[in-house]
Structure 1
Amino acid sequence: MFGRDIGIDLGTANVLIHVKGRGIVLNEPAVVAMDTQTRNVLAVGEEAFRMVGRTPGNIVVMRPLKDGVIADFDTTEKMLKHFLEKIRVKGWFMKPRILICCPTNITSVEQKAIREAAEKSGAKQVYLEEEPKVAAVGAGLDIFQPTGNMVVDIGGGTTDVAVLSMGDIVTAESIKIAGDRFDADILSSIKKKHKLLIGERTAEQIKFEIGTVSPKGSDKSMEIRGRDMVNGLPRTIEVHASEVQEAMQEAVQHIVQAARTVLEITPPELSADIIDRGIIITGGGAYLHGIDTLLADELKVPVFIAEDPMDCVANGTGMMLENLDRIRKVK
């Protein structure tokens, strides 16, 4: 068996791997469980995610990526190695060529860290591409024509906004506000309003089930359990969608502002194309109730949610793997 070309969406929250000719073969949380005394990796991905908030003192469950970049190099390398072994892409005679996506504004040092982590996990060559560009390709946009396409990619650690034309990014903005920030704001709001401590997983569950960014909100509600801050005992409360909308409001406005900033510096001809073609939302944040309506109202431009928004970047890497020779290799 020979090495294959593979594309990796190395996200803060999830890692998706696309193998050329096979499609998306892996989609797991970017989480690692480690023994703090021996530094041995105990679990990776889905198995480690189930341990979040439920481990004894000697086991720590961590995310080796933060805000779209590597926060813990050794753990990222171990995580990548585990995932590559799991999907069995490394051949006996050849190592795979890997295409990895990254936010638009990462530094050369951060690029080097991503490249080295991929090389040490078993890559022959590493190519780097900007996330919104790959997301646009995966969403089915023809970015190689001389017309403007705009993408808002809301991931776990970063939101990338970009206008693309003739196969490259014309204007872009990347902010470290996305899904993780929404979770943190929900957690903080419930702590402040209800004097109840909840975990990250519960906050994420609230976001998925009743999260909304529309000012009109929805009438949904759900019961959650946590620890009472006053007496330290377990308690159950009911949380309404309007509370969640209020908690996430500030973070969402930062995303709106980032999109507005990109539109303000976009050449007028491309702005005219965007009015015709609209804006595409990709990434896990696209699932937030009302995000398309809110952006359309604020920016006065049609906004659409991509088909399978979470898979857009991974699918885009698959399409770009067909033209690997046209992509610059990371120096």
Structure 2
Amino acid sequence: MQYTDIGIDLGTASILVYIRGKGVVLKEPSVVAFDRDTDKIRAIGEDARLMLGRTPGNIVAVRPLRQGVISDYRVTEKMMKYFIQKALGKKTFRKPRIAVCVPSGVTEVEKKAVEDATYQAGAREVSIIEEPIAAAIGAGIDISKPCGNMIVDIGGGTSDIAVISLGGTVVSASIKIAGDDFDEAIVRYMRKKHNLLIGERTAEDLKIKIGSAYRRTEVDYMDVRGRNLVTGLPRTVKVSSEETEEALRETTAQIVETIHSVLEKTPPELAADIADRGIVLTGGGSLLRGLEDLIASKTGINTMTAEDPMTAVAIGTGKYVEFLAGYKED
């Protein structure tokens, strides 16, 4: 009997849905816009993201997941239901088996909330999988071997750093510093250095286009529009990629520090494997330019980014469902 197996990467910034045999079928921002007066949901996903920071008083665009954890249960449940239906299309009669990915540092209560929300959204069976393991599978690493692999998964709300061997996590750390904090650091820097107030979408744009974590030889520039805090009027400022490096320095340093502390706790045999094989970066946050170079220069270990870092966790979650299914069918 063929059931539909779904893997969901429930991220702070975006939600990806993977369906067995089809790959990643849906990738949308995890944003919901609802009307305060009627309590009805107005938009979900990309449509809602465009409303961030641009809504009238009665409509609020919110992210129901904060730092990888459900902060608004009711809205998350509705959002998941919407995405699952959108991914499967209308013609499903059987309830799917769903694997959902959570950051490695979540508590049992938080896991239970994700599980309940997934059942409410229409799952027949739910498996919860930790992010670094999903990221490793998605990055194409064979996790079943007795060999140490280090994964650094930088998402929107959390960064998960783990050493994996024999299909399990040996040492791991999860910090609530990731892509969103890069944006916030840029907002703070622009306010302090240029007296310019910018929104989080503008900050994200700046990070994607010219953001850098490491000094580069060529310098990129970008015009940034915002509100001048002195005059209160709109103003445009030219920003260089060197300035973004300065703005992000503190935040990226915290990620490097956590990698360092995980390496310190790693058993020597596995540490030797990591020195040979290198560190693998996944997650949208790893797309920040110069991050590989920064980590490599601070740890002395070769660092590379997975082929498609954005979808690695979703693919890994889906493959994990298949791995479990294969397990059960034997």
The TM-score, its normalising length taken from structure 1, stands at: 0.96
> Which one-letter code corresponds to 1:235 in the other structure?
R
Q: Please list the CA deviations of residues 3-41 of structure 1 after superposition, one character each: whole Å capped at 9, or x if unmatched.
A: 511000000000000011111000000000110111110
Query: Are 1:149 and 2:171 an aligned pair?
Result: no
Work out whether residues 5 and 19 of structure 1, in 8 Å CA contact, stay in contact via their aligned partners in 2: yes
What CA RMSD, in Å, does the superposition of the two structures yield over aligned residues?
1.7
* Separation (CA, whole Å) in 1 of partners of 2:157 and 2:121: 23
Deviation at 1:2, TM superposition (A): 7.3
Query: Are 1:69 and 2:69 an aligned pair?
Result: yes
1:90–1:70 Cα change, 3 Å: farther
* Separation (CA, whole Å) in 2 of partners of 1:286 and 1:237: 27
Secondary structure of the corresponding residue to residue 34 of structure 1: strand
Structure 1 spans left out of the alignment, 5+ residues: none
* Separation (CA, whole Å) in 1 of partners of 2:52 and 2:79: 16
Corresponding residue for 2:312?
312
Identity %: 52
1:228–1:68 Cα change, 3 Å: same
Work out whether residues 8 and 318 of structure 2, in 8 Å CA contact, stay in contact via their aligned partners in 1: no
* Separation (CA, whole Å) in 2 of partners of 1:25 and 1:35: 28
More divergent stretch after superposition (201-210 vs 242-251): 242-251
More divergent stretch after superposition (208-217 vs 181-190): 208-217
Corresponding residue for 1:118?
118
> Which one-letter code corresponds to 1:276 in the other structure?
D
Work out whether residues 6 and 99 of structure 1, in 8 Å CA contact, stay in contact via their aligned partners in 2: yes
Structure 2 spans left out of the alignment, 5+ residues: none
* Separation (CA, whole Å) in 2 of partners of 1:306 and 1:183: 22
Q: Please list the CA deviations of residues 71-121 of structure 1 after superposition, one character each: whole Å capped at 9, or x if unmatched.
A: 110110111011111122676542111100111110011001101111111
Corresponding residue for 2:167?
167
Corresponding residue for 1:103?
103
Corresponding residue for 1:286?
286
> Which one-letter code corresponds to 1:320 in the other structure?
Y
Query: Are 1:129 and 2:129 an aligned pair?
Result: yes
* Separation (CA, whole Å) in 1 of partners of 2:33 and 2:5: 28
Deviation at 1:232, TM superposition (A): 1.5
Work out whether residues 154 and 178 of structure 2, in 8 Å CA contact, stay in contact via their aligned partners in 1: yes
| Corresponding residue pairs, total | 328
* Separation (CA, whole Å) in 2 of partners of 1:25 and 1:217: 38
Corresponding residue for 2:83?
83
* Separation (CA, whole Å) in 2 of partners of 1:92 and 1:104: 32
* Separation (CA, whole Å) in 2 of partners of 1:80 and 1:15: 9
Query: Residues 149-298 of structure 1: matches in 2 within 5 Å?
Result: 149-216=149-216, 218-298=218-298
* Separation (CA, whole Å) in 1 of partners of 2:304 and 2:206: 24
Query: Residues 17-36 of structure 1: matches in 2 within 5 Å?
Result: 17-36=17-36
Work out whether residues 4 and 89 of structure 1, in 8 Å CA contact, stay in contact via their aligned partners in 2: no
The TM-score, its normalising length taken from structure 2, stands at: 0.96
Deviation at 1:318, TM superposition (A): 2.2
Secondary structure of the corresponding residue to residue 156 of structure 2: coil
Work out whether residues 127 and 327 of structure 1, in 8 Å CA contact, stay in contact via their aligned partners in 2: no
Secondary structure of the corresponding residue to residue 60 of structure 1: strand
* Separation (CA, whole Å) in 2 of partners of 1:274 and 1:57: 52
